[in-house]
């Protein structure tokens, strides 16, 4: 009996001791916080150092953060700012993929940063507690390339322009700068001087390069000589738009055509702050064409051959062009007629009501910020006619000019 009591006593004491130890361990575990994963902060620090080295043209400091790829290609671009903001990190052991927003400003041209979504792959030595190292950087899925993603950039400065090219001779880039330098004062003479008064032109090597910059298939821009990037209706502090050239199509144009295209696109840069969702494409594109052809001496028949053919067949349009008519991937003849119809509408306003009224009409439409009622109100308040009457006048104008 006595022996059995001692056995029970020893067992209870051991159980209590075990419970106390488990309880203490449990309390310790509950009270402790797991080690924080500092990967995102660590990656941000590496990219901060990398950006500072790039902006300061510190090749050794740049190489210390990883691959030297991406250091030389943009070297000719005059940059005022360059930074990364990490938005997400996906880690797998000693490798990681970071989503980041690249922000940069071109010195003397961008009042606010241009941003681009990028994906960076990083590594570090197995088991190391040191810094991450950048292995590669590329555009995020569905994001457009930057010009330097396509090769080493060459820069040519004009009096009112900066032309950046890849795979182009300096002499050819100089010809674009000369065209842009003529375009800027031509636009200011028509629109006024309440815009930046300079333009950045990007000239990739080919149509495929243009499509890469726009993040779109090349088929969408085949035959299009140039486009202007930028959100419609951007605030005055928004970054300057970029005129992106399709060198394949541009090379087929004559001297007047090349100048008209650069002046047209520069007009979009100048009018962007007054162009928003309220502005129909017949007005924004028609006005840009009106400025482009202004002073060239080209007749309506020379500028609007497709629409002239339609009028001659007795099929003159009953309504002003719709936004859908301007689709790049649709019927090429329909697209041409849309541009020609918009140009003639603006030409009508300039001739009948005056160029000052045309500018005022454009700005009045943009003040609405939404499509409903915008054109109707502007035709009434600026031109003193209803939209129906203006459309009827436009149809008569087509017949008179192209019939």
Q: Is the pLDDT of residue 155 over 60?
A: yes
Average pLDDT of the residues of the chain: 89
pLDDT (average), residues 380-398:
98
Sequence ranges of the chain with CATH classification 3.10.450.50: 39-143
- CATH code that applies to domain 39-143: 3.10.450.50
Tell me the pLDDT tens digit for each residue of 50-88: 999 999 999 999 999 999 999 999 999 999 999 999 999
The CATH number of domain 144-272 is 1.20.1560.10: no
pLDDT at 4: 33
Sequence ranges of the chain with CATH classification 3.30.2010.30: 144-272
**Residues 138, 145: Cα–Cα separation, whole Å:** 8
- Cα–Cα–Cα angle for 328, 283, 372, rounded to 5 degrees: 100
Whether the CA torsion 307, 284, 175, 182 is positive or negative: it is positive
Sequence ranges of the chain with CATH classification 1.10.390: 276-403
Among residues of the chain, what percentage have pLDDT more than 70? Answer: 87
Tell me the pLDDT tens digit for each residue of 252-282: 999 999 999 999 999 999 999 999 999 999 9
Contacts of 333 by beta carbon, 8 Å cutoff, 6+ apart: 306
- Cα–Cα–Cα angle for 389, 390, 396, rounded to 5 degrees: 90
Q: Is the pLDDT of residue 33 over 90?
A: no
Q: Is the pLDDT of residue 27 over 60?
A: no
pTM of the model: 0.87
pLDDT (average), residues 197-204:
97
Contacts of 395 by beta carbon, 8 Å cutoff, 6+ apart: 316, 317, 318
**Residues 233, 374: Cα–Cα separation, whole Å:** 14
pLDDT at 131: 84
E strands in 25-153: 79-92, 95-106, 114-123, 133-139
Coil, helix or strand at residue 114: strand
- CATH code that applies to domain 276-403: 1.10.390
Q: Is the pLDDT of residue 306 over 60?
A: yes
Q: Is the pLDDT of residue 359 over 60?
A: yes
Q: Is the pLDDT of residue 382 over 90?
A: yes
Q: Is the pLDDT of residue 157 over 60?
A: yes
């Amino acid at each position: 009996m006595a022996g059995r009591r001692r056995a029970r006593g020893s067992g209870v004491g051991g159980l209590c001791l075990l419970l106390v130890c488990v309880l203490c361990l449990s309390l310790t575990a509950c009270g402790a916080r797991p080690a924080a994963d500092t990967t995102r902060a660590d990656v941000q620090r590496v990219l901060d150092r990398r950006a500072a080295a790039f902006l300061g043209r510190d090749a050794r400091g740049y190489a210390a953060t990883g691959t030297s790829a991406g250091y030389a290609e943009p070297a000719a671009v005059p940059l005022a700012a360059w930074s990364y903001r990490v938005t997400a990190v996906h880690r797998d052991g000693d490798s990681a993929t970071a989503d980041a927003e690249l922000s940069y400003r071109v010195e003397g041209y961008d009042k606010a940063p241009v941003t681009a979504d990028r994906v960076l792959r990083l590594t570090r030595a197995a088991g190391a507690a040191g810094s991450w190292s950048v292995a590669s950087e590329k555009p995020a899925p569905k994001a457009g390339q930057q010009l330097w993603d396509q090769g080493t950039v060459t820069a040519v400065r004009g009096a009112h322009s900066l032309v950046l090219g890849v795979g182009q001779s300096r002499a050819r880039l100089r010809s674009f700068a000369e065209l842009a330098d003529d375009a800027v004062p031509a636009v200011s003479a028509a629109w006024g001087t309440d815009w930046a008064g300079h333009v950045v032109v990007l000239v990739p090597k080919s149509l495929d390069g243009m499509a890469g910059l726009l993040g779109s298939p090349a088929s969408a821009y085949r035959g299009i000589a140039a486009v202007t990037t930028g959100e419609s209706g951007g605030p005055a502090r928004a970054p300057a738009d970029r005129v992106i050239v399709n060198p394949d199509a541009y090379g087929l144009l004559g001297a007047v055509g090349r100048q008209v295209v650069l002046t047209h696109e520069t007009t979009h840069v100048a009018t962007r702050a007054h162009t928003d969702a309220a502005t129909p494409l017949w007005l924004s594109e028609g006005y840009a064409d009106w400025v482009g052809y202004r002073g060239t001496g080209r007749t309506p028949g020379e500028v609007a051959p497709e629409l002239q053919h339609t009028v001659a067949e007795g099929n003159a349009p009953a309504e002003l062009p719709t936004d859908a008519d301007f689709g790049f991937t649709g019927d090429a003849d329909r697209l041409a007629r849309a541009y020609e119809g918009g140009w003639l509408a603006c030409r009508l306003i300039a001739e009948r009501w005056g160029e000052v009224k045309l500018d005022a009409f454009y700005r009045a439409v943009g003040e609405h910020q939404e499509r409903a009622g915008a054109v109707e109100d502007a035709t009434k308040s600026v031109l003193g006619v209803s939209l129906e009457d203006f459309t009827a006048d436009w149809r008569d104008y087509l017949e008179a000019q192209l019939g």
